[in-house]
Amino acid sequence: MHAIVIDGDKLGWQAVDAPSLGAGEVRIKVAATAVNRADLVQRHGGYPPPPGASDILGLECSGTVIELGEGVTRVSIGDEVCALLSGGGYAEEVVVAAGQVQRLPKGFDLVQGAAIPEVFATAYLNLFMEAGLTRGERVLLHAGASGVGTAAIGMCKAMGNPCYVTVGSQDKLDQCIALGASGGSIRHDGPFAEQVAAWTDDKGFDVILDPVGANYLADNLASLSLEGRLVLIGLMGGAAAEINLGLLLMKRLRVIGSTLRARSVAAKSAVMDELLRNIWPRFESGEVKTVVDTVLPIAEADAAHQLMAADKNVGKIVLQVG
């Protein structure tokens, strides 16, 4: 088979060995995959795959099931599916644990399917499972125009959670509001914390989802309500910062660190099953949508990475393989 291989400072489409299939696993002929910021970090040596995972880039895919390992009954050969991966998506074939695979929502094509697994699993895991978000609670989403951000906006709207965003431009803010955000701020226009009182009637946010890290920590803690939860999912703004422990005590705050990629098969399967129960029906009714910014052929993976690095996209950048 062929896959994208890191070749110096470029990405090349090259012949590689196909992955072996084990018990409980599914082989998928990949139709599309999608770019995540983690791919860019891994490409430059900063985010190695977990032990046993493919070193090929790509944390999600859509495609057709072509082979089943022993004991697999969850899907059948010929099913169109999407899958949450630990790596390997930038390739003609992937092998993945069956629990991380779901049939596409009814009415979804394979491009839409490729835009589901990583960002919807990340957003759902961290908002509803880690932070325990309940109906009516207010949410702040940093990087609201990202893949995770746009997925979170759709789910918050569907679940009855007012959400606000921070973004990099007025155009991105306008698009986030069109998707269902209640409002937000542009990071170049000043600290978001100055607007939190107006957004939340002086109560603060119940949950903040943050891929930024150190640069936003103080303002995040100040922006949380009593018993608020900060879920940290990235370190784009640095890894080290001072923390006001007194504020944590007085407001009974929780700071939750969370990653998805290195979790066990059982944990990832549980997230995918939660999506099937709670989000798949909303996909099929049109209440929740995937947001695809750009579709490119897999041979243009390098250009797709440049597009993401430029931070111009709203939603997902999808790479078509077939």
Tell me the two tokens of residue 58: 């790509």
* Nearest alpha carbon to residue 18 among 52, 47, 48, 56: 56
| CA contacts within 13 A on the Cβ side of 90 | 29
Domains, the chain, in order of start with CATH, read 2-116+291-320 (3.90.180.10), 120-257 (3.40.50.720)
Count, residues in the chain: 322
Separation of alpha carbons 61 and 64, rounded Å: 10
* Mean pLDDT computed over 179-206: 96
Q: What contacts 77, CB < 8 A, 6 or more positions away?
A: 65, 66, 67, 68
* Nearest alpha carbon to residue 153 among 191, 127, 190: 127
Residue bearing tokens 């489409």: 13
Q: What contacts 26, CB < 8 A, 6 or more positions away?
A: 65, 67, 68, 69, 72, 74, 75, 81, 83, 95, 96, 97, 98, 101
* Mean pLDDT computed over 69-77: 98
Looking at the predicted structure, is the pLDDT value of residue 59 above 90?
A: yes
* Mean pLDDT computed over 175-181: 98
* pLDDT in the model for residue 9: 87
Check if the beta carbon of residue 241 is closer than 8 Å to that of residue 218: yes
Report how far apart, in Å, the C-alpha atoms of 98 and of each of 62, 82, 187, 320 are: 14, 11, 41, 22
- Could you tell me which residues are beta bridge partners of residue 224? 205
Average pLDDT, rounded, for the chain: 97
Looking at the predicted structure, is the pLDDT value of residue 85 above 90?
A: yes
Separation of alpha carbons 245 and 229, rounded Å: 14
Q: Given CA atoms 202, 206, 210, 214 in this order, what sign does their dihedral have?
A: positive
pLDDT > 70: percent of the chain: 100
> Which of left, alpha, beta for 182 (phi over 0: left; psi -120 to 50: alpha)?
alpha
Separation of alpha carbons 287 and 196, rounded Å: 28
- DSSP-derived letter for residue 18 is P
Separation of alpha carbons 142 and 228, rounded Å: 16
Looking at the predicted structure, is the pLDDT value of residue 322 above 80?
A: no
* Mean pLDDT computed over 17-36: 98
Q: Which of 7-11, 90-94, 130-134 has the lowest mean pLDDT?
A: 7-11
Check if the beta carbon of residue 80 is closer than 8 Å to that of residue 61: no
* Mean pLDDT computed over 205-213: 97
* Mean pLDDT computed over 17-40: 97
* pLDDT in the model for residue 8: 87
> Would you give the distance in Å from CA 182 to the centre of its chain?
21
Separation of alpha carbons 60 and 318, rounded Å: 10
Q: What digits encode the pLDDT tens for the residues 255-303?
A: 999 999 999 999 999 999 999 999 999 999 999 999 999 999 999 999 9
What is the band of 211 on the pLDDT scale with cuts at 50, 70, 90?
very high
- DSSP-derived letter for residue 48 is P
How open is the CA angle 280-281-282, to the nearest 5 degrees?
90
* pLDDT in the model for residue 63: 98
Q: Given CA atoms 206, 181, 290, 94 in this order, what sign does their dihedral have?
A: negative
Separation of alpha carbons 322 and 173, rounded Å: 34
Separation of alpha carbons 241 and 249, rounded Å: 18
> Would you give the distance in Å from CA 230 to the centre of its chain?
17
Tell me the two tokens of residue 128: 């509803």
Q: What digits encode the pLDDT tens for the residues 121-171?
A: 999 999 999 999 999 999 999 999 999 999 999 999 999 999 999 999 999
Q: What contacts 243, CB < 8 A, 6 or more positions away?
A: 217, 221, 255
* Mean pLDDT computed over 6-34: 96
